[in-house]
Structure formats: C-alpha cells, structure tokens
Structure 1
Amino acid sequence: MTHYTFPDHFLWGAAASATQTEGTVPGDGKGENIWDYWFKEKPHLFYQQIGPGKASDFYQQYETDITLMKTLNFNSFRTSLSWSRLLPNGKTLNQEAVTFYNNMINEMIKQGIEPIINLFHFDMPMYLQDNGGWENPDIIEAFRYYAQTAFQLFGDRVKRWTTFNEPIVPVEMGYLNTYHYPAVIDMKRAVTVAYHSMLSSAKAIEAFKLEKIGGEIGIILNLTPSYPRSDDKEDQQGAYLADLFYNRSFLDPSVLGYYPGDLLTLLDTYHLLPERITGDTTLLKANTVDFLGVNYYQPRRIKQSEAPIDDKNITPESFFSYYQDPNRRMNPYRGWEIYERGLYDIAMRIKADYQNIPWYVSENGMGVSDEERFMDKDGVIQDDYRIDFYQEHLKWLHLAIEEGANCFGFHAWTFIDNWSWLNAYKNRYGFYRLDLDTQERTVKKSGQWFSQVAQSNGFSHDD
C-alpha cells in the first residue's frame, strides 16, 4: 500500500462557471449573453434542446450547494461571475446580482471554503457581441471596467482571482470551429480575438494592482501536451507548432509577458497579424500573472502535416496533423484519450520553462453518459471509473510535487452535474448527480471518495 500525502494547506475542491450552474429566474435582472441568445435562436443545436435557462439552479440553491461542498470537505471552490448578470448594459450595476454574489461569497467563507473567482468563462454579454465582442478593441476597456467593478465589490473577501478560463476555447470553438457563437471559421479573426483577450487579461491585472486590495490574480489555461509521433524532424516540428498555437500563444504572454517570436513570425508570413494596439508590449510585460490554473483533460498526438498549406483557408491544423497512439486508452463518451502522465509533463514544463510559477490543477474530470446504468439499489451511482481516473492523475501530480513542481491544489470538474454548452447534460462530470426534473442532488461514490481524500489530504492505494 502506497500513501500519497500532499503539501500542507493544499487546495481540494471543484470548479464551475456562472452560465453552467446559476440559471435565471424572473426579476433577477440578468442581461442576455451569447448562450442565451444562441439557444433562443437555434435550440436544435443543443443536445435534447436543453439550454442554460435553469442549469443546476445555483442562483437559488447556493446555500444548499455550499453546505454539500462542505460535506465533501472542500476547502476551496472556483466559479465565475456572470458579466451580463453584474453589468447588464455594461455600465449599470444590477443590485440583484451584487446581493447574490455577496451572499454566495459570504456563505463560502462562513463554511470555510475559499472562493476563487474567475471573471470570464465563455459567456460574452450579447450587447458586446453585437458590437464585435473580442474582435473589437473597445472590449479591452469594457473588460477592464468590469474587472475593476468586481474587485471593488468583492475584493475585500476574495483573495484569489483569475481573469479568464481557457481563453483559447472561444478562439478555437467560435472562430476556427462552429461549436461556440458566432460559429465562424476565419483565422485572421481568430488571431484578433486571441490578441484582444490577452490584452484584456493584462488590463484586468493592471486594474487589480491599482485597487491595492491584496491577494493574487492569475489565469486559467487548458494546457494540452503535444506529443510527436516520432523523432523525425517533421513530426517534431508539427508538435512544436501545435504547442505554439494551442499552449504558448496564451501561456507565454500570461507568465513571461511577451509572445513567442516564432509565433509572430509565422503569423506575419501568412498575413495574419492583428492590428496592433499602442502600448501592447509594455502592458503585457508589466502585468503578468501571480499564478496559473491548469485545466488538463487529454494530450495531443501530432505528426507532420499531411497536406499542403492552403493560404486562403489557414487554421492551426494547416501546419500539422493528428495521429492516434495505437496503445491509447479512451473515454469513449467524450472521445478523449486518457493519459494521466500528461499532468506530470505539464508540471515539469512549468517548472523548467515558466519560472516554476505557483499553479494548481483548476480542472480535471471524466464525462460519462447514461450514468444511471451504474446506480445501486440505494440510488448511488457507483462511478469507480471516475475514482480510478482521479487517483491515477493524482499519483502523477504527487510525483511532480515531489520533484519540485510548485502546485498548490487540485480542483475537479465538477461538483454537481452541470449544463455544458452544446452538449447540455449529455456527459455527466459531477460528484453529485443532478436530477433534471426535481433538481435533487445525490452524492456519487466518487464524491464519497473525494471527501475522504480532502479530509486526509491524500489517499492510499495498492499499487
């Protein structure tokens, strides 16, 4: 039996977001975001035509849910503010939202659960999207104002903030694929969105420093290791470019304060550089993050590009191709490879190349469909597969920490089965099962297991 004990004061908890959990109720004053709008316009795109209207009703059930978190021995929880709830028209405060978020934060602190508050999790207010969203440079000042408002309202109690969750995702899913609104494929627009996102993050950090409220501010990135198929130069180059586009385009400016030179050269070669904002390099350099949140789910397996580059239809995948490891293990429900060692490799890279900046696992989880198949006679879902998934990732994380990785916590995705964009409730991730009809929460076996892990700050396993 091997004992895996984690550092003192290690964070144990889960992550969520406003749009995926809060829901809306009459009179709450919330403004429309891109998901509300898209579901209203095209409900058939969403799994079983379920939109974000009710979600898991966290807006009304936050007290109950925070108590349930405490029964799992959480000492921390990360969620986001809804920009369109707090500032429905961009300037005027929604007092109902202020009351809700104050009560939510106060209840977490009362229960001994540290709130980690994220500012943006894929939910652009529709009034801003109508003016171009992240494509419009005016968004930088709008985001700064929103961030400053949040710091002034809640910064006396919230001591860990993050600017963005996975800023690559709105770029990749909304401007290189059609899974997020506005669902266009245009590399030049995608690059502009990414650039303005990074400048907005830096502006928020600048505002945080000016408020002098204490605490720390970071960013949450989904870091996906890119593994080359072979030692051949072409495969190695493909993996290098995949990493450049999908990891370093946000990691380098956030932590180091500048963009990789190779990325700028490549974008310039294909006439993809955005229109520069005056003072951008100074802004980025002066406003790097205090810590990182790392979301890890799967690796990328890369080989050399199989097709010539089409100058008129460039995407990141123009520069490399994917391959499947013949020995891979898959989560067949999500279509993602399970590769626990990837978390260790990320940790070692942060240590070697990114100043060993403090970081935590801000998301890790396993989505499974039709979990009722695994329900026992007492109504508890026997999700041993999820326990195995977490244990194996935590073993590799533990090794990384022993080897000097500066990791201070582990958050699962997620606490209660939550609404998930176009997938709605197709795949479930929670420690608690959510009954969509009754909103009843029922703990799963994995939740019982996690409660013991958090209580003992580790676990034992027969290796």
Structure 2
Amino acid sequence: MSRGLLLALPVLLAACGDRPSFDPDVVKAAPLGKGLPTGFMLGTSTAAHQIEGGNQNDWAVWERGQWPDGRPHIKDDSVSGAATDSWNRFDEDVRLMERLGANAYRFSVEWARLQPTPDTWDEAALARYQQWARTLRQKGITPLVTLYHFTLPTWVMDAGGWENPATVDLFEAYVARVAEALGGDVDWWCTINEPNVYAVLGYLNGEWPPGKKDMKATATVLANLMEAHARAARQLRERDTVDADGDGFATRIGLAHHVRVFQPATGSTADLTVAALTDTFFNESVPEALRTGRIHLSVPGQVTLDREVAGLKGSIDYFGLNYYTRDYVRQYLGEPALSRQYVPRGRERNDLGWELYPEGLYLFLMRYAKFGLPLIVTENGMADRGGERRPYYLQSHVYAVEQAVAQGAEVRGYFHWSLLDNFEWAEGYAPKFGLFSVDLESPEKTRTETPAVATFQEIARNLGLAPSP
C-alpha cells in the first residue's frame, strides 16, 4: 500500500458504502459482547503515578512548578499526592474488577519507586508488584503490565531523561529485573505507553516535563523510546521464560500507541497537506518503525531523522491502540506542529472538549489490521464528571470493536480507561474517567460505581464472564 493511500485510508473508509452504521439506535440495540471472540480480554487500564499515591519522580517535581507567568503546571493547581491510594488499596480495587466481571487488568510499575536512586533497588516494592500479579491470576484476571508510563526517576531526568541515550541502557537494566521478578505471573507486557504523546507534549508543545519546544529534541526522544522498546523486548524474551497461563507463550509483547483521527478542516491543499503530515508523524511513525526496524521522521524545514534500530523489527506480538477522539486540522505556520487542531461547533464532546467519535476506533482497527498482528485496545474512555454519558460511550466503542472483528480484524482485547477517577497529568483531578468515582477527600478514598458499571457488566455477561454479585 502506498503511503499516500495509507494516509487517506480513514477518509476512504468513512466514505465507503459498506461502512457499519453508528446510528445510536443501532448501537443500543446490539447485544454487545456476543460479537467478541473466545478468549477476549475485557478489562480496565490504570497507570502507577495516577493512582498509587506517594510517588517521587519527575512528574511529582513538575506538579509543584509553574510557568513564567505564574500559572501552575497543573491546570487545577493540584498535585498527585495520595492519588486514589491504590498502593495500599489494591485488594479493594481487585474486588471492583470482580464486580465488573473483568477478566484482565492493565497496570504499570513505577520505575522511580523500584529504583529511587542509581544505586538502590527497593526489593519490597518489587515483591508487592509481584504479589499484585499473582493475586490477579488467582482471581482469574489476566495482568498486562506496562513498564513505562510517562514517569522517570528524578535522577534519570536530571541526567537528560530520554534525550540522553544512556537512559536506554538504564531502562534496559530496569526491565531485566522486573521481568525476572514478575515473569512467573505475567505473560502480557506493554513496554512503552504512548511514545508519540510523550515526545510531543514534553518536547514539542512543552506542556509536560521537561517543558521544551524543540522539534529536533522531539525526534531524538521518540527514536530513543523506540530503541528502549526494542531493548526491553529482548530482555523480556530472555528473562521471562514461564508460561503463566499455559497457552504456549511465555511472553506477549507490545506497546501502547496513541492514535487520533486528523480530519482536514477544508479541502484546501494546505489543510490536506498538513493533516497528512500530522497523521504520518503522529499515527504512522511508530507502527512503521515497528514494521521496518527503522525510525524515520521528517518534518520539512525542521528535522529529518532516519535510524535503524537493532531488534526493533519483529519485536512485538500485538499492537496496542489508545484511542479517544478526532481533531480537525487547519494549517497554521506559527505553531510548532504547523497547524491548529479544533473541534467544530455542535459536535458532542467530553468534559475536556474532545469529540466523541466512535467510528474513529473502527477505522484505526481496520487500518492497523493490515499489519497482520493481533490488536488490543489498550485505552479508551471519556471524561464525564456526571457519569451519565459514559454508558453510551462504552457501548459505542465496544460496538466499534465488534464491527472491526466482523470485518476480519484480529482484536484480542479492550481495556477501558479507567477503573478509577485519577490524576490526569496536566489536567489534574478535574477530569473524571473512572468507571468508579473516588472521593479524594474521604480518608477511605471511597469508591462509588458510576452508571457505566452496569453497562460493562452486561458486556461481560454477554461475553460469558460472570460479574460478582
């Protein structure tokens, strides 16, 4: 398939006459869960810094900082602090998973907690993560462990973070120890979460630590993250040799790639061109690197990077997609990304202003099915403070998965973001993504189900899973 056709694929699919209907009445009438394959993983996703509480890493430092004009780095002026206290309330969270009928859980381990200084390793913390994985297995819940989800030990960031190639070596050593400790209970691994988002928000837009606006640094960081993934995959295959679930595979390795539909604002050459460039950089650079073993990035007049990465080709067993929304793209040369993204008036949005566009998930699943690898929706959810709109969001996106499966896409799992309301990075605690809301002011961090819990339970029952009463 030519690159030009690949870039146009979402638009072409949207125009096809055999595209499935996403009419709300059709979605609501579908017996969701019954169209999913045997062995399908239906679960939720979380990240260590967002729920554990008490983490000391580069993000904890960033949260206490402010911009030159005095605005706090975090929009609601909060800090992660105790978060949902899941470090101490894991067993309670597992009961919530059982209540849902979930048979899988994606969580991350915190590098800074395990290796707080270059010369120290917290064996007790590692043993705790090991017990988490073991507990999940005992409950019939498959653990999918993320090794890097946006946070670095402060000593790593102080030495240059992901701009420094030495961080790749340090990450490889960290992964080796985690693989040896958790491999007996974990078969499914996610090496890096959203390398494209991390690179863009931290080094191009400057909204996340370390707050840079440098296209060359963005390209360097993305390339180093891809090399870190390849090295991590090698360590996992060498050190995790236990087939925990007895399916014949000791490791199932992937990463979580954030995808967004970039819709040209108009049919002008300028908007079409910048939308295609944005799509190539954001949506295609990572999967193309995984397919070819080369990381190739090119933004005319700004940066060109072409690097072969040893072990990158063939390094994944599944491809993870994090999908949330669609953006409309208009060329604007005054921005680092050469464009501005927006949502037209009148479109349904979540509390963060993101358009609700379930068709996009279907389009991306069909697009990446062309790579011939199993697909997992590693994140998908909506910010909905009231919780009333989340049930349909969940329905419509699981429906999108089922439509892709019906069209031949090999989708192996769906992980809803998130199990709990949590600390949403630069947005703080204002956005509410949880199937269970959390009273952050209560000493018990009380968890309360939202209306979408019943929707999830129904999908689980239709899939043949039994939610706890």
Please indicate, yes or no, whether the TM-score normalized by the shorter chain is above 0.5: yes
**Does residue 441 of structure 1 match 2:447?**
yes
Paired residues in the alignment total 421
Query: How far is the alpha carbon of 1:256 from its aligned partner?
Result: 3.7
SS of equivalent to 1:419: coil
1:144 counterpart (172, 179, 183): 172
The CA RMSD measured in Å over matched residues stands at 2.2
Query: How far is the alpha carbon of 1:169 from its aligned partner?
Result: 1.9
**Does residue 20 of structure 1 match 2:50?**
yes
Q: Which amino acid aligns with 1:180?
A: W
1:330 counterpart (349, 354, 376): 349
Asked whether the 8 Å contact 2:64–2:72 carries over to 1, the reply is: no
The match for 1:425 is: 429
Query: How far is the alpha carbon of 1:173 from its aligned partner?
Result: 1.2
Distance 1:224 1:168 in 2: 11
Alignment of 1:321-400 (within 5 A): 321-322=340-341, 324-325=343-344, 328-331=347-350, 333-352=351-370, 354-355=371-372, 357-369=373-385, 371=386, 383-400=387-404
Uncovered stretches (5+) of structure 1, i.e. residues with no partner = 25-29, 372-382
Q: Which amino acid aligns with 2:348?
A: R
Q: Which amino acid aligns with 1:36?
A: A
Q: Quick one: structure 1 residues 67 and 125, their matched pair in 2 at CA, closer, same or farther if it must change by over 3 Å?
A: same
The match for 1:37 is: 61
Query: How far is the alpha carbon of 1:46 from its aligned partner?
Result: 2.6
Q: Which amino acid aligns with 2:315?
A: T
SS of equivalent to 1:189: helix
SS of equivalent to 1:299: strand
- Over residues 27-51 of structure 1, what are the superposed CA-to-partner deviations in whole Å (9 max), with x where a residue is unaligned? xxx6x31111123444943344321
TM-score normalised per structure 2: 0.84
Query: How far is the alpha carbon of 1:141 from its aligned partner?
Result: 0.5
Alignment of 1:198-217 (within 5 A): 198-211=226-239, 213=241, 214-217=250-253
SS of equivalent to 1:79: strand
Distance 1:449 1:162 in 2: 27
Uncovered stretches (5+) of structure 2, i.e. residues with no partner = 1-28, 242-249
Asked whether the 8 Å contact 2:327–2:343 carries over to 1, the reply is: no
The match for 1:376 is: none
Alignment of 1:62-461 (within 5 A): 62-211=90-239, 213=241, 214-230=250-266, 232-260=268-296, 263=297, 266-267=298-299, 270=301, 272-273=303-304, 280-285=308-313, 287-303=314-330, 305-307=331-333, 315=336, 317-318=337-338, 320-322=339-341, 324-325=343-344, 328-331=347-350, 333-352=351-370, 354-355=371-372, 357-369=373-385, 371=386, 383-438=387-442, 439-457=445-463
Query: How far is the alpha carbon of 1:210 from its aligned partner?
Result: 2.2
Distance 2:341 2:114 in 1: 41
Distance 2:270 2:113 in 1: 48
Distance 1:140 1:108 in 2: 30
The match for 1:374 is: none
Query: How far is the alpha carbon of 1:177 from its aligned partner?
Result: 2.1
Query: How far is the alpha carbon of 1:215 from its aligned partner?
Result: 1.7
SS of equivalent to 1:297: strand
Distance 1:385 1:323 in 2: 22
Query: How far is the alpha carbon of 1:344 from its aligned partner?
Result: 0.8
Segments of 4+ moved more than 6 angstroms: none
Asked whether the 8 Å contact 1:238–1:321 carries over to 2, the reply is: no
Query: How far is the alpha carbon of 1:301 from its aligned partner?
Result: 2.0
Distance 2:343 2:458 in 1: 36
- Over residues 179-207 of structure 1, what are the superposed CA-to-partner deviations in whole Å (9 max), with x where a residue is unaligned? 21111211111111111111111111121
Q: Which amino acid aligns with 1:344?
A: Y
Query: How far is the alpha carbon of 1:361 from its aligned partner?
Result: 1.0
- Over residues 104-156 of structure 1, what are the superposed CA-to-partner deviations in whole Å (9 max), with x where a residue is unaligned? 11211111111100011110111000000000010111111111111111011
Distance 2:353 2:76 in 1: 19
Distance 2:132 2:97 in 1: 13
Q: Quick one: structure 1 residues 84 and 323, their matched pair in 2 at CA, closer, same or farther if it must change by over 3 Å?
A: closer
SS of equivalent to 1:197: helix
Distance 2:329 2:153 in 1: 36
SS of equivalent to 1:59: coil
Distance 1:19 1:290 in 2: 26
Distance 1:158 1:339 in 2: 33
Q: Which amino acid aligns with 1:45?
A: H
Distance 2:192 2:408 in 1: 26
Distance 1:88 1:405 in 2: 42
Distance 1:90 1:103 in 2: 25
Q: Quick one: structure 1 residues 443 and 195, their matched pair in 2 at CA, closer, same or farther if it must change by over 3 Å?
A: same
Q: Quick one: structure 1 residues 256 and 225, their matched pair in 2 at CA, closer, same or farther if it must change by over 3 Å?
A: farther
Distance 1:130 1:408 in 2: 39
Distance 2:419 2:282 in 1: 27
Q: Quick one: structure 1 residues 271 and 45, their matched pair in 2 at CA, closer, same or farther if it must change by over 3 Å?
A: closer
Query: How far is the alpha carbon of 1:233 from its aligned partner?
Result: 4.4
Q: Quick one: structure 1 residues 449 and 323, their matched pair in 2 at CA, closer, same or farther if it must change by over 3 Å?
A: closer
Asked whether the 8 Å contact 1:12–1:411 carries over to 2, the reply is: yes
TM-score normalised per structure 1: 0.85
Q: Which amino acid aligns with 1:289?
A: I
Deviates more, 1:192-201 or 1:203-212: 203-212
The match for 1:379 is: none
SS of equivalent to 2:415: strand
Query: How far is the alpha carbon of 1:427 from its aligned partner?
Result: 1.0
Distance 1:82 1:323 in 2: 34
Distance 1:417 1:389 in 2: 16
Q: Quick one: structure 1 residues 337 and 283, their matched pair in 2 at CA, closer, same or farther if it must change by over 3 Å?
A: same
Asked whether the 8 Å contact 2:322–2:378 carries over to 1, the reply is: yes
